[in-house]
Amino acid sequence: MPGGGVARRPLHFIIMGDCSGSMKGPKMQALNTALRAMLPHLLRWEREQLQAQLLIRILGFATEPHWHVPEPTLVTELNAQWRDLEYVRWGWTNMGPAFEAVAEVLAPERLETRALRPAILLVTDGLPTDPPGGFERGLAALTRHAAGRLSLRLAVAIGRDANSEPLDRFRSRDAPVLIAETIDVIVDRLVAASIAVSRMSEAGADRGALAQQLLQPEVVPGSGLDDDPIL
Amino acid sequence: MPMSADASGLPPHEAQDLWLALTASQLGAAHQATGLPNQDAVAACHVQPDVLVVAVADGHGHRRHFRSARGSRLAVAVACEAARELAARLDEFEAARQVESEALRHLVPAITGRWREAVHDDVAADPFTAQEQAGRVSGDDALIAYGSTLLLAIAGRRWLVLAQIGDGDIMGIQPDGRPLLPVPADPSLDGQQTTSLCGLRAEDEFRAAVVDTSTTALLAVMLATDGYGNAQAADPWTDAVSADLAELINDRPPEWLADHLPLWASRCASADGSADDTTIALLIAPSATGWRHAAPPEPEAEEATTSAARRLAEPAARPDRQPEGPRKHRPGPRSRRLMVIAAVAVVVIAAAAAFLAVRLSSSSTTPTVCSTPSAGIGEHATASATPAVRPRPGAAGNPCGRG
C-alpha cells in the first residue's frame, strides 16, 4: 500500500471531570464509578461500528486543570489501567483554564487532519468560579479552531443547581445539558452521554434525532435536520 | 465486497505519448453494512486525440442527500462533456493564467449549469417517491438530494487543468517523488462539512489550477475521494504516498498498477481504513511511460522489489490471489535492466571486435547487426494490456460514462 498502510479515523473523546472541593466524598466516588461504567458501553460501540477508533483523554479540573489521562488512550487500555480521579481540597471550579487546556490538544497542529469531530463531556456539580472573564476566555479559546468549534459538547450537571447558563453556553447546539439530580443517577446519565457521544459521532448521523432519542427530550434544542451541514 | 475497477486508458504501445488513466472505486464498509450504494463515481475518456479527461465525484453521505449516488454519476458525466470545449482549445493558450481564467470563467459555469439541468431532468423523469419526500427538509431545492463533490483533470500535451469543489485530493507526483498540490486549499473544508455542487455558490466555490508540464515535470496525477485520504495512517500522508507511487510508476508496468489500484481502494474502504466509499483515478504522464518500450520483461507478480511494493504485500490482497511474498534475493527491474544493458554492451563489443578481426582478415564481410531488447518489451506490454480506452474514430461523440 503506497504510503505505509491504513487506519481507522480517530475519534477523540475528552472527559472533563470536576475535581473541586465540593466533589469530596460520595460525589467523587459516584463520578468515578460512572466513568468506569461508561467504558464497556464505549468498547461495545467501538467494536460494532466500522468507522472510528475511539481515543480517550481525561482532564480533572479544580482551581487549575490537570491531565489525569494526558495521552489519547484506547478504551481497552484505559479500562486496564484505570485510576480514580481525586478531588482537590479547597479546589475551586475554574472552567476557563480547563477549556484552554482542552483547546490546546485540539489545535490543528495537534490533531490529525482526518480525525472525526471530537467529543467533549463536562461533568460538574457547580457553577464556574472563574475570575471575571475567565470562563469566556476559556470558551473562546475552545471554539477558536474548527475542531473545538465543531466538537460535540455535552455536559452532565450533578444536582439541579449545577444546570446553569454557563453550561448552556458550553454545550454544542445539537447536545443538551443532562441533569443528574441525585448521585444515584450519575451512572445513568454518563452512560446515556457515552452512547450519545458514540452514535452522534458516526458519519452522517442525524444528531438532532439521536439527541431526542437518547437523551432528555425536554432539554434538547430544536430539531437537528435544519442545522445539518452538507456531509 | 462489490468493487469496480477499470484499467481504462491502457493504450497500445504506439500511443506512448498519451496520458493513461487507471481508475478504481470501492463501496465503503459502512455503506455496505447499512445497505447504501457506492455514492462515488468516476469517468475517464479521451475528449481529443491527445487530451485525457478524468472526473471523480463523491455523493454526500447524509440522508438529506438521498440521491447523491445519482448526483455523483451525473457530475462526472457532465464534467467530461463540459471539458470537451476547453480541451479542444488547449493548444491555443500561451500562459497558465489564461487557461485557469478560461476554466473558471467558462468551464466551471458550464459544469454547474449542466449538472443542475441534469438533476432537474432526472427528477422530472423519476419524481421523488413519497418516502423520499418525507425525508426532505422543508424548503430544500431538489438539488440538495443529489449533492456531490467533483474533482476534474484535463490532461493535454502541455497543460494540465485541475478543478475541484468539495473535499477529496488532487496530487501531482513529481519525478523525484515529491508531491505537487497545485489546487488551493479551501479553509472552509474542516473535515465535517464540504462545499458542493448543490450549494448556492457552487461556481464561486470551485478551485482551479493549471500546471505547465513542459516546465513542471510530473510522473502522474492522482484524484481521490476523501475515503482515500481519511484512511491513510500517515499524517500528513501526501509525502509518503507520492514517494511510493513515484517508485512504483518507475518500476512497474501499467498493467501491474491497474491490477493493484482496486486493492488499494479496497483497503481504504474497509473497516480497517475509512470505511467510506473510496475512488482513485491515477493519470500517468506520457513522460513516465517511455519505459514501456525500453524495459525488459516485467517481474513476476509475487516479486516485491521496492519498499513500496513490500508494503503492498500487507494483508489486503484479494482472497483469490496469493499474497505477495517477502523480498527475494532476485534482481529487481532496475537491476535486470542494468544486466540486460551490460549483456548488450558485451555483445556489441564482441561483435565489434569480431568485425574488426574479420575486416583485418577479409574486407568483404558485412558487420553484425545487434537488435536492441526493446522490441521484446513492446510485445510484452501490448500483449498483456487490459482493454483500452483510447482515441479511435468517432471517440469524440462517445459518452464518458462509467461511474
Residue B93, amino acid: F
B114: left (phi over 0), alpha (psi -120 to 50) or beta: alpha
Cβ pair B98, B231 in contact under 8 A: no
Alpha helices in B270-373 (DSSP H): 307-312, 333-361
Residue with cell 444536582: A159
Task: List Cα–Cα distances, B334 to B79, B208, B250, B295, in angstroms.
Answer: 39, 37, 9, 9
Which pLDDT score, from 0 to 100, does residue B323 have? Answer: 32
d(CA B2, CA A210): 30
CA distance A118 to chain B (A): 11
CA distance A86 to chain B (A): 36
Rounded (5°) CA angle A75-A76-A78? 65
Pair type for strands A177-180 and B159-165: unpaired
* Rg, chain A, Cα only: 17
Q: Which residues contact B264 (CB under 8 A, 6 or more apart)?
A: A1, A2, B24, B280, B312, B316
Which pLDDT score, from 0 to 100, does residue B392 have? Answer: 29
Model confidence at A31: pLDDT above 90: yes
In chain B, what is the greatest distance between 2 CA atoms, to the nearest angstrom? Answer: 98
Which pLDDT score, from 0 to 100, does residue A50 have? Answer: 86
Binary contact (A113, B244; C-beta < 8 A): no
d(CA B74, CA B115): 7
Residue with cell 542494468: B338
CB atoms within 10 A of CB B350: 12
d(CA A61, CA B388): 64
d(CA B262, CA B280): 8
DSSP annotation string for A156-172 = EEESGGG--HHHHHHS-
CA distance A214 to chain B (A): 19
CA distance B188 to chain A (A): 9
Cβ pair A157, A117 in contact under 8 A: no
Taking alpha carbons only, the member of B254, B184, B172 closest to residue B212 is: B172
Cβ pair B52, B155 in contact under 8 A: yes
Inter-chain Cβ pairs, chain A and chain B, closer than 8 A: 120
DSSP annotation string for B30-61 = HHHHHTPPP-EEEEEEEEETTEEEEEEEEB--
Element (H or E) spanning B211, and its range?
strand B207-212
d(CA B209, CA A158): 55
Residue B305, amino acid: T
Nearest Cβ partner of B240 from A4, A115, A230? A4
Cβ pair B42, B279 in contact under 8 A: yes
Tens-level pLDDT at each residue, chain B (403 residues): 444 445 444 554 445 678 999 999 999 999 999 899 999 999 999 888 889 999 999 999 888 999 999 999 999 999 999 999 999 999 999 999 999 999 999 999 999 999 999 999 999 999 999 999 988 888 889 999 999 999 999 999 999 999 999 999 999 999 999 999 999 999 888 777 789 999 999 999 999 999 999 999 999 999 999 999 999 999 999 999 999 999 999 999 999 999 999 999 999 999 999 999 999 999 999 888 544 444 444 444 333 223 333 333 333 333 333 333 333 333 334 444 444 444 444 444 444 444 444 343 333 332 222 222 222 222 222 222 222 233 322 222 233 333 3
Which pLDDT score, from 0 to 100, does residue B294 have? Answer: 47
Nearest Cβ partner of A9 from B61, B230, B312? B230
Residue of A nearest to B238 (CA): A3
- B371, three cell numbers: 537488435
Binary contact (B235, A113; C-beta < 8 A): yes
d(CA B385, CA B403): 22
Cβ pair A17, A58 in contact under 8 A: yes
Indicate the SS3 state at residue A13.
Answer: strand
- B348, three cell numbers: 556489441
Substitution target from B1, B32, B63 for chain A, most A beta carbons within 10 A: B63
Taking alpha carbons only, the member of B180, B187, B115 closest to residue B149 is: B115
Alpha helices in chain A (DSSP H): 26-48, 75-80, 95-105, 134-142, 146-149, 165-170, 186-200, 207-214
Pair type for strands B51-58 and B150-155: antiparallel
d(CA B106, CA B94): 18
What residue segments make up the domains of chain A, in order of their start? 9-220
Long-range contacts of B102-109 (CB under 8 A, 24+ apart): B103/B161, B103/B163, B103/B208, B103/B210, B104/B206, B104/B208, B107/B82, B107/B83, B107/B161, B107/B163, B108/B163, B108/B203, B108/B206, B108/B208, B109/B203
> Could you give the angle at which helices B68-89 and B108-125 cross, rounded to 10 degrees?
140
Nearest Cβ partner of B236 from A51, A113, A146? A113
Main-chain phi, psi angles of B113, to 5 degrees: -65, -45
The predicted-structure confidence for A80-108, as pLDDT tens digits, reads as follows 999 999 999 999 999 999 999 999 999 99
Which pLDDT score, from 0 to 100, does residue B334 have? Answer: 43
Residue with cell 485541475: B162
CA distance A88 to chain B (A): 37
CATH architecture of the domain with range A9-220 = 3-Layer(aba) Sandwich (3.40)
Element (H or E) spanning B86, and its range?
helix B68-89
What part of B 178-237 touches A (C-beta under 8 Å)? 190-196, 198-199, 229-237
Taking alpha carbons only, the member of B317, B266, B315 closest to residue B27 is: B266
Nearest Cβ partner of B245 from A2, A115, A150? A2
In angstroms, how far is CA B360 from the centroid of its own chain? 57
pTM of the model: 0.77
Considering only residues A60 and A228, tell me which one the structure prediction assigns the higher pLDDT: A60
- B36, three cell numbers: 447504501
**Chain B CB contacts of A5 below 8 Å:** 233-234, 311, 314
Which pLDDT score, from 0 to 100, does residue A204 have? Answer: 64
**Chain A CB contacts of B271 below 8 Å:** 8, 50-51
d(CA A229, CA A49): 22
**In whole numbers, what is the pLDDT of chain A averaged over residues?**
86
CB atoms within 10 A of CB B367: 12
Share of chain A above pLDDT 90, in %: 61
- A230, three cell numbers: 452538507
Dihedral sign, Cα of residue A16, residue A22, residue A25, residue A30? negative
* DSSP secondary structure letter of residue B106: I
